[in-house]
Amino acid sequence: MVNLLRGSSSDPLIPLVFLGVALTVVAAIALANRITTNRRRKAYETFCFERGYRFEPERPGEEARHVATCPVFSEGHRRTWGFTIVGTSGGTPFTAFEYKWTTGSGKNSHTHRIGGLLWTTERALSQFLVTPEGLWARLAAYFGGQDIDFAESPEFSRAYRLRGSDEAAVRALFTPARRQVFELVRGQHAAGAGRELMWWRDGALPSPDQFDTFIMEGERIRVAFARD
C-alpha cells in the first residue's frame, strides 16, 4: 500500500519530464538550424567575394515591393526575405534570393521556401503567373479558378496553369516559341509584370557549387521573354 501511494505521488512529475525532453529537442533543433544558417551565410559571403557579387543576409519587407509581379509574396504570414545575391551573369544583372512564408496555423501550419531570380526586362510584360499543373491547380480551375489554356498547345496546357490579369495580353505574350520552352523543361515557375520578371524553384537557394546551374536554369526562361 505504501509503495502504491509513493508511485501515485510521483505521477505528476511525468508530464514535466516529457515537457523537459520536448523543450530539449526543440532547443537542439533550433541550435542545429542556427549553425547550418551561419555556415551557409559564410559560404555565400566567400563565394560572392570571389565572384564580385554582393551578398545580403536578409532584406526585411522586400517582398512588398514585388507583390505586383508575383502574388506569392502576398500569401500567408511570417514572410521572410532571406539570403540575397546581386550580380551580373553574361552581362545581365540579376538578383537571386531565398524567401519563405507560412500558411495555416498551429498543427496545420506549413512553411514554404523558394529560391528565385529577379531580372529587369527591357520591355513591359503583361502581368502573368505560370506554375506547374497539379491536383490542387486542377481543382481550382474546375471550381472557377483561372487557367489559360491553348488548344494548339495541349502539352503546355496539361503541364502548366497560366493566369493573368489581362487574358488577351497574356495569350499574346505566350507565343508558341515561349510555350515550347516551358514544354521542353517541365516544372517551371515564373511570373512577370511591368519591367520585372521572376523565376523560381521550390526549396532553398542552392549552395555555391550549384549556383551556376541555378542561374543557367533561370536564364532559359529569361532569354525566352527577352526574344520577340
The pLDDT assigned to 63 comes to 98
Same domain, 86 and 191: yes
The C-alpha atoms of residue 116 and residue 177 are separated, in whole angstroms, by 23
What is the model's pTM? 0.83
Same domain, 155 and 194: yes
Range of the domain at 204: 53-226
Residues in the chain with pLDDT values less than 50: 1-2, 4-9, 142-143
Domain count, the chain: 2
Same domain, 47 and 68: no
Same domain, 101 and 165: yes
pLDDT in tens, 79-135: 999 999 999 999 999 999 999 999 999 889 999 999 999 999 999 999 999 999 975
